[in-house]
Amino acid sequence: TQQAAPPQGKPATIVVNGKTYTTDAWFNVPPNVLASTSRKLHLQKDHPVAITRQIIESKFPAPTYKTHNNFDPVVSTFENFDSLGFPPDHVGRNRSDTYYINQTTLLRTHTSAHEAELFRAHASDGYLISADVYRRDEVDRSHYPVFHQMEGARVWDRKAVPNGDVVAAIYADLATLPTHNVKVDDPHPPFHATRNPLQAEHHSPAEAEALGAHLKRSLELMVVEIFSRAKAAAAKQDPDYVDEPLRVRWVEAYFPFTSPSWELEVYYAGDWLEVLGCGVTQQHILTDAGVPGQVGWAFGIGLERIAMLLFQIPDIRLFWSQDNRFLSQFTGVSDDLAKLKRFVPFSKYPACYKDVSFWLRSASAAGGNDKAANKHDFHENDVMEIVRNVAGDDVEDVCLVDEFTHPKTGRRSMCYRINYRSLEKTLTHPETNAMHDRVREALVEKLGVELR
């Protein structure tokens, strides 16, 4: 049902990390996103994303875990979706959610795109892969079209473990992990027939339970490490710092490539924050990768989410800042983690709110074949991206403040409120007015809306 026309001025080819790709009508990567492919914040020494990666890597040591940090962001739709069991009509495949170079080539939306390749290589019993990932998404202080994930996986080979007893082998490995004394809420059973099923054709209940226990302890130890470092830094900087007990909980989740699946949430600033997804690897992935005798688990962590907690960084745009007032606060930490400090915000510049209201073009006017006047080929992420393309990092958030359908004509009207605010300077009125005018023009030009 996707039918967007190729963007105006679309290049016939693009270059990502020195490799040239041919575009087609599916191409939808804006220049600011394309430029991010060379940044690799997770590899930039003393950058908070890289420091966070280093701390997590220290909890998954070699030789059990082999680390990969330089995989190319351009993957096939097969690697990103099909190999993982995403159904053909999954929403994540839409051009409104994913950046395509051409119909079969995209910027990976998650590090799981490399699972098949890494399981097939089987260079070790476990791996970690950190990388930049790309998603069309909303605009606010915790979302950015580029962010970083770390994926981890661990396998056990049925034939290689003593007596062929996988359960015993997993518990023996679990016994080598430290314990911790953080309160973890984990109210659900290890698997549940409908909500979070056992892969009954492949795993005994005891095997799934053992895999889940090893996975959960490994990740709890990671979170405990992050928070003990965050607390130590806070206590050093603030003599009045009061230690708030860390609260963590496991919730049931769904991913096409794991079952049972969970998400780990951390209680932070009065709310539960999701920091990772994980689960028992779907056996078809290991079978397709040529290692049907292995069983295991996998996880995917949002590195910025963890870094925001660790350093108390309030806005995700800051990670992309080249401002020395930001970067200098982390100098020397990559080589000596004991130097880690919480981020001290520099002054906050004024916000400037501007609204834009418009009537949507109806799908029939847009060339769609649905003649119902109230059907629109509108996706909010298109508005988000237009604002990002015009305002770059000078936009803090964009939110829908009003929506209205005309009772007679069925036409739909939307009003978005844009908060223009730079992290680095006070924006002048002429600057914000000029950006807002360009946003209004681009909405008309690219989405065919009628301004109100």
- Contacts with ligand FA5, residue ranges (CB under 6 A): 110, 112, 135, 137, 143, 147, 149, 151, 255, 258, 274-279, 298-300, 302, 304-305
Query: CB-wise, 57 or 377, nearer to ligand FA5?
Result: 57
CA distance 214 to 211: 5
Contact 175, 160 (CB under 8 A): no
378 binds, among ligand FA5, Mg ion, none (CB under 5 to 8 A by kind): none
262 binds, among ligand FA5, Mg ion, none (CB under 5 to 8 A by kind): none
* Token pair 């962590």 in the structure block, residue: 301
Shortest CB 297 distance to ligand FA5, Å:
8
Shortest CB 336 distance to ligand FA5, Å:
27
Chain positions 280 to 319 lying near Mg ion, rule: CB under 5 A, are none
149 binds, among ligand FA5, Mg ion, none (CB under 5 to 8 A by kind): ligand FA5
Shortest CB 431 distance to Mg ion, Å:
36
Strand order in the sheet with 74-76: 74-76, 105-107, 100-102
Shortest CB 242 distance to ligand FA5, Å:
27
Shortest CB 92 distance to Mg ion, Å:
11
250 binds, among Mg ion, ligand FA5, none (CB under 5 to 8 A by kind): none
Query: CB-wise, 296 or 376, nearer to ligand FA5?
Result: 296
Q: How many chain residues interact with Mg ion (CB under 5 A)? A: 1
Q: Return the DSSP state at 350.
A: P
As a whole number of Å, the CA-based R_g of the chain is 24
Q: Checking DSSP bridges between strand 105-107 and strand 100-102, what pairing results, if any?
A: antiparallel
CA distance 132 to 295: 27
Contact 373, 409 (CB under 8 A): yes
Shortest CB 277 distance to ligand FA5, Å:
4
Contact 353, 433 (CB under 8 A): no
Q: Return the DSSP state at 348.
A: P
298 binds, among Mg ion, ligand FA5, none (CB under 5 to 8 A by kind): ligand FA5
231 binds, among ligand FA5, Mg ion, none (CB under 5 to 8 A by kind): none
Instruction: Specify the length of the chain in residues.
Output: 452
Contact 298, 272 (CB under 8 A): no
79 binds, among ligand FA5, Mg ion, none (CB under 5 to 8 A by kind): none
Query: CB-wise, 130 or 432, nearer to ligand FA5?
Result: 130
**CA of 404: how far to CAs of 191, 357, 365, in Å?**
44, 10, 19
Binding mask 242-281 for Mg ion (x = CB under 5 A): -----------------------------------x----
CA distance 362 to 176: 62
CA distance 254 to 42: 27
- With residues binned 3-state (H G I as helix, E B as strand, rest as coil), the percentages for the chain, rounded to 5, are 35, 25, 40
Shortest CB 40 distance to ligand FA5, Å:
16
Q: Which helix (H) or strand (E) is 261 found in, with range?
A: strand 258-268
Query: CB-wise, 146 or 391, nearer to Mg ion?
Result: 146
Which residues form the interface with Mg ion (CB under 5 A)?
Answer: 277
